[in-house]
Structure 1
Amino acid sequence: MKKRIGLIASTTLFASMLLTACSGGNTSSAPASSKAPEAKSAAPVTINWWSWNPDENKAKPFVDKFNASQSEVKVNYKRYEYNDYVKTLKLAMVSGDEVDVFGIQAGAMAKEYTEFSEDLTPYAVKEWGNDWQNRFYDLGLKQLLAGSKTPALPFFNSAAGYLFYNNTLLEKAGLKPPTTYAEWVEYVKVAPSKGINAPFIQGAKDAWQNFDMFIAIANEFAPGKIYEAEAGKAKWTDGDLVKAATTWKDMFQNGIMQNGAYGLSVYPDASDKFAKGETAMIMLGTWHDTRMTKTISANDKKKYGLTTDYEFLAAPFPDLNGDGKPGSLFGGPDVSLAITKESKKKEAAWKFVKWMVSEEAQKMNADVMQIPSIKGIQINDADIGTDRQKANMKQQMKDLENAIGKREFLYPELKTALGDALAMIATGKATPEEGMKNVQTASDKIKK
């Protein structure tokens, strides 16, 4: 299939070159004039940027700022919901639709689209020198590299592994976020009697949140072993990973996972319920820190008709292995920017991508609580609501220094197999041992 796509793309490029060649040029000379004609400023080159993230409201300041900063390039942004984006982008790469810059995720998505992405290494070396990689956090950049090639640059970073909670609700009920697995089980049992009818919510309809939960569990029992299994250096049937799968199963039986979890998406279902105070806790990542800002709080009050300023905070993943330490974060580039290899406007596209990873643009990320992709930019806490939330953000920056690994796997087949296994284990259609055996079978068929 990849060869076929490459052939289509190559044929499209050849046809485009042929048409250009056939059109020729105007070789007639203009009549002499005693007065030189007045120079006209050239119209800006328009490039198209597609992605699922950021949303339109968050993208607009970046697009407006870039467009206003110079007159040579104009950016148009088109945003899709994630599932629609994945389908549309595949078609665009085959049909040659006019997309010049596109967003990708690290892992399977980046691997799949490397052949359609311009190698940005020469651009980066020319712009920032041979040590250009030192500008970026390893957490974001290194997960994108394909050998010596750079298919994309990270726009901002993120990490998962936090339990975000509504501290307003918990304080009113006299409760605290759990720090151990036993406390977590006790919390979901006690909370309803304290007025919190939905203690925790999981959008299990979306496989990515299930992956996040399983990675967090697995890294508690055996830090890093899940990545060894992905690489084929450990078995998915390893006792520690089966233990993680057993804990996942137990969560659907001991009340941590709510009834009907697999019928609920993260966005908008679970996220909206959390924002409205209808549930007190959800597992998300640093991308959810914007919920701590006064701006988002005001928007939520207007959007949902709320009368309370909820205080949202992030708690470390509970200690599951009994070592007295909370779980570690894991993450990487949240969204990265690639230039289409077949784009006819590569220089203009690079000018935009380069600006998006500049100090100016990265400070804009920091202003809206997004973790910058380059070093030396501090999060701006001016819009954070409370002193506890400001302290929480500072702690998150420290937690990131000890992040244990990544969120995204390299192989789509493995993600599908793990997602199916987790669903079967959760619904009782497979035992943890059987589920992990199925994942191992899928893993064995992948050329690594």
Structure 2
Amino acid sequence: MLTIRTRVAAVATVGVVAVALAGCVGTSDAPSADGDVTLTWWGWNNFQYEQVIDEFEAANPGITVEYKNYAFDDYVTALRPALTGSDGPDVFQMQPGALVTNFGPLAVDPSEHMESVHGADWQDRFYPAGLEALQADGEQVALPNYMSAAGLVYYNADILEELDLDVPSDLDQWEADCTTIIEAGYACLAHGAKDGWVNEDVFLSLANSVSPGLVYEAIEGETSWTHPDLVAAMTAWGSLFTNGIVAEGATAMAEYPDAFSAFLEGNAAFIALGTWNTSQTMTAAGIAEAQKGVSTPIDNVFLSAPFPAAESGGTPTSPFGGPDNGWAVAANTPSEEAALTFLDFLTTGYGQENQASGGNIPAVRDVAVSTEDVVDPRQVEDIERQQASIEDLVGLRQIPYPDLDAALVDALSQVAAGAATPKAALESVESVSAGLDRE
């Protein structure tokens, strides 16, 4: 089952010179006289890792893997000194954005190893976005673990059927539907506006509906954040809190567990999330796990659709995303060959079958998400559509510049609270963007 994604808000830049690596030794045991190796593996989001280790060790006699799991914030804190000292992992988890920027230089580029094992076209096995998001300074610093995409709204099919409503295609239709939904005693869109990452997901959904891809030009400083289309998207964002779409009290709620619990318990018709949400809403095993966190029985059918268009009659958003996370080999490992073998196992071998079995979208194209455990036949087509969308993502979810990310989060909060106009909020974002050093 998918572990909830955590957004990186900011990570301090790691300053390391190349000579520092020469004196560093990883925590894995160097190969012993009989050739045995012990690898240390670190992460924060790792599905069925014990089973993965068992399968790998059975297929690779002489290599033992020891896993250490962290809460995300603790992981980032521990990783910074570990990769430049003597207590670091051999294989570690990576996330697009700030982690790649800051820790990518401390990882091995696996390209040569992958080519030797899989041939010169090894990259063709992966979704392009999965590789691109895990590159730094022209180097492939990690390989993707599984893929995810936002730009979706999940909905309670039973509520919509009860009220004879279709999934809305734009905000005007959604506002009208919400009136009916609220009159029937339900909340419309459960949303945890206390969390900056989900606010950004919704804003990116709106921006990519108004002008697909424009927001990424702004992120890279190629377009102003005050572009009329981005102002239109920010205006649409603010309207969600005044037209009845977002449930009351959203600014004091977290997406997890508050908004998600309201959705699972059948109190709200919609929630804005992404493909990482599918296993917990569409598979029997995932729902059984989610049930542990809520008191009301989860007995509705959940489906997904593109996030409605910001403008009346517009096109619903294109999906955006990339690798939810990936795996990297530490540059200071004394067991590079064994670590690369394990990396390959995680990202092209059994590790991908494991992700598919849990309802996650594999990083490689030739492994399909399992649909054997869905709770309703309609969810099979839904899941297949989600996986197909990974081939043509409009852009990433992550903003790779921590200061810019923080500025956008603040702007969205200000607009949601009615404390700033959309244009004024984006002017503050543009001010930060203009001062960034993107080299």
Q: Same fold (TM over 0.5)?
A: yes
Find the counterpart in structure 2 of residue 427 from structure 1.
417
In percent, how many aligned pairs have the same letter? 35
Distance 1:15 1:330 in 2: 38
1:51 aligns with 2:43: yes
CA displacement, residues 368-426 of structure 1 (integer Å, 9 cap, x when unaligned): 22111112222221111211111212222343344212111221121111111111222
Identify which range, 223-232 or 115-124, moves more after superposition: 115-124
Verify the 8 A CA contact 2:170 2:313 in the aligned structure 1: no
- Structure 1 residue corresponding to 2:23, chosen from 14, 19, 28: 14
Distance 1:308 1:210 in 2: 26
- Structure 2 residue corresponding to 1:251, chosen from 240, 265, 275: 240
Distance 2:236 2:213 in 1: 17
Q: Give the letter aligned to residue 14 of structure 1.
A: G
Whichever structure has more helix as a proportion of its residues is: 1
Distance 1:240 1:44 in 2: 59
Verify the 8 A CA contact 2:79 2:88 in the aligned structure 1: no
Shift in Å, 1:303: 5.3
Find the counterpart in structure 2 of residue 334 from structure 1.
324
CA gap of 1:238–1:303, structure 2 versus 1, over 3 A, is: closer
Distance 2:99 2:251 in 1: 24
Find the counterpart in structure 1 of residue 223 from structure 2.
234
Shift in Å, 1:311: 1.1
- Structure 2 residue corresponding to 1:79, chosen from 40, 48, 69: 69
Find the counterpart in structure 1 of residue 204 from structure 2.
215
Return 5+ residue gaps in structure 1 as ranges. Answer: 21-39
CA displacement, residues 202-241 of structure 1 (integer Å, 9 cap, x when unaligned): 1222221111111111111111110111111111111111
1:377 aligns with 2:386: no
SS of the residue 1:199 aligns to: strand
Distance 1:157 1:16 in 2: 32
CA RMSD of aligned residues (A): 2.7
1:413 aligns with 2:422: no
Distance 1:302 1:87 in 2: 30
CA gap of 1:279–1:49, structure 2 versus 1, over 3 A, is: farther
CA displacement, residues 152-187 of structure 1 (integer Å, 9 cap, x when unaligned): 001111111110112233333443432221122123
CA gap of 1:117–1:245, structure 2 versus 1, over 3 A, is: same
Verify the 8 A CA contact 2:265 2:298 in the aligned structure 1: no
Distance 1:166 1:61 in 2: 33
1:225 aligns with 2:235: no
Find the counterpart in structure 1 of residue 104 from structure 2.
114
SS of the residue 1:343 aligns to: coil
1:151 aligns with 2:141: yes
Q: Give the letter aligned to residue 220 of structure 1.
A: S
Distance 2:258 2:120 in 1: 46
Verify the 8 A CA contact 1:202 1:261 in the aligned structure 2: yes
CA gap of 1:410–1:67, structure 2 versus 1, over 3 A, is: same
Verify the 8 A CA contact 1:118 1:339 in the aligned structure 2: yes
CA gap of 1:300–1:236, structure 2 versus 1, over 3 A, is: closer
Alignment of 1:122-133 (within 5 A): 122-133=112-123
Shift in Å, 1:44: 4.4
SS of the residue 2:200 aligns to: helix
Distance 2:192 2:39 in 1: 36
CA gap of 1:73–1:235, structure 2 versus 1, over 3 A, is: same
Distance 2:369 2:434 in 1: 43
- Structure 2 residue corresponding to 1:185, chosen from 172, 175, 197: 175
TM-score, structure 2 normalization: 0.88
Q: Give the letter aligned to residue 229 of structure 1.
A: A
Q: Give the letter aligned to residue 59 of structure 2.
A: S
SS of the residue 1:6 aligns to: coil
CA displacement, residues 25-66 of structure 1 (integer Å, 9 cap, x when unaligned): xxxxxxxxxxxxxxx9948422222222235xx433323322
Instruction: Give the number of aligned pairs.
Output: 423
CA gap of 1:71–1:229, structure 2 versus 1, over 3 A, is: same
Find the counterpart in structure 2 of residue 280 from structure 1.
269
SS of the residue 2:23 aligns to: helix
Find the counterpart in structure 2 of residue 29 from structure 1.
none
Verify the 8 A CA contact 1:173 1:195 in the aligned structure 2: no
Verify the 8 A CA contact 2:110 2:141 in the aligned structure 1: yes
CA displacement, residues 220-271 of structure 1 (integer Å, 9 cap, x when unaligned): 1111110111111111111111111111112122222233323322223322
Flag the structure with larger Rg: 1
1:361 aligns with 2:322: no
- Structure 1 residue corresponding to 2:301, chosen from 311, 318, 322: 311
Distance 1:60 1:83 in 2: 23
SS of the residue 1:338 aligns to: strand
Distance 1:54 1:262 in 2: 30
Find the counterpart in structure 2 of residue 440 from structure 1.
430
Q: Give the letter aligned to residue 72 of structure 1.
A: G
Identify which range, 345-354 or 291-300, moves more after superposition: 291-300
